Amino acid sequence: MTSEVVENEFEFYSKAEKYWKDVPATVDGMLGGYGHISSIDINSSRKFLQRFLRDGPNRTGTTRALDCGAGIGRITKRLLLPLFKTVDMVDVTEDFLTKAKSYLGEEGRRVRNYFCCGLQDFSPEPNSYDVIWIQWVIGHLTDNHLSDFLKRCRAGLRPNGIVVIKDNMAQEGVIMDDVDSSVCRDLDVVRRLIRRAGLHLLAEERQENFPDEIYHVYTFAMR
């Protein structure tokens, strides 16, 4: 659990904020030098997401999505804006959100809100989102803050809405990364935190065709 590896919560968050302030506001910067995997990532995410958007009585709507840890809007631009009428973005780094306004181009007009906030302090507007997408950012939250944030996400969903987490998974336990001040949890820990938030897992999938040297990446859908 993060309580075993995060010694000082304030330092954990402030160090991460400082780290991201120095990261270039580019796709390569967002992906830690792995910009070349962006298309593989987006294509897999689209396939995963579209199974919930197909016709049917419990179909997830396409009115509004929220991109959490959005950075410059890589996921907003290529995954969410093509599928949803409007998108909101939240990120702790103001420079990234500023850059997003030019990076998103003409379609960026359909981004309604740019929230500059850490997820530990962010509350999605209740009953507002069809999809809340949380990618490569849960490692920047302690266990308690992640579980609490997921509870607030649950309250932020419209009928048949889903929360999606896509992130690195450790082989075992919780691993601290001192460079960017984040943790990587194993699958069991993440599933436990999802349950603790009162969410029910609908689907889970391992990302294929990523470089061998990086962590395994999994996508979870829940409501």
User: Is residue 145 pLDDT above 80, yes or no?
Assistant: yes
Q: What CATH number labels 2-222?
A: 3.40.50.150
Residue whose entry in the numeric block shows the structure tokens 């820990």: 189
| Strand 157-169 with 216-222, pairing | antiparallel
- Feature table: binding site for S-adenosyl-L-methionine: 69, 74, 91-93, 119-120, 135
Q: What is the pLDDT of residue 216?
A: 97
pTM of the model: 0.97
Give the β-pairing of 201-206 and 216-222.
Answer: antiparallel
Stretch 37-49: mean pLDDT: 98
Span 182-222, pLDDT tens digits: 999 999 999 999 999 999 999 999 999 999 999 999 999 99
Using the predicted structure, report yes or no on whether residue 159 has a pLDDT greater than 80: yes
DSSP state of 73: T
Q: For 88-104, what is each residue's pLDDT tens digit?
A: 999 999 999 999 999 99
Question: Taking the domains of the chain in order of start, what are their residue ranges?
Answer: 2-222
**Most distant pair of Cα atoms in the chain: their distance:** 48
**Res. 57 pLDDT band, cuts 50 70 90:** confident
Question: In this model, does residue 3 exceed pLDDT 80?
Answer: no
Instruction: Look up residue 140 and give its DSSP letter.
Output: G
Q: ∠194-39-119 over CA atoms, to 5°? A: 35
Q: Return d(Cα 132, Cα 154) in angstroms, integer.
A: 9
Q: What are phi and psi of 124, to 5 degrees?
A: -60, 145
Annotated binding site: 69, 74, 91-93, 119-120, 135
Q: Is 167 helix (H, G, I), strand (E, B) or coil?
A: strand
- pLDDT at 2 (0 to 100): 81
Query: Could you tell me the end-to-end alpha-carbon distance of the chain, in angstroms, rounded to an integer?
Result: 23
Q: How far is residue 26's CA from residue 19's CA, in Å, rounded to a whole number? A: 15
Tokens describing residue 177: 């990364």
**Has residue 58 got a pLDDT over 80?**
yes
What average pLDDT does this structure show over 39-60? 94
**pLDDT value, residue 4:** 84
Look over the chain and give the mean of its residue pLDDT values, rounded to a whole number. 97
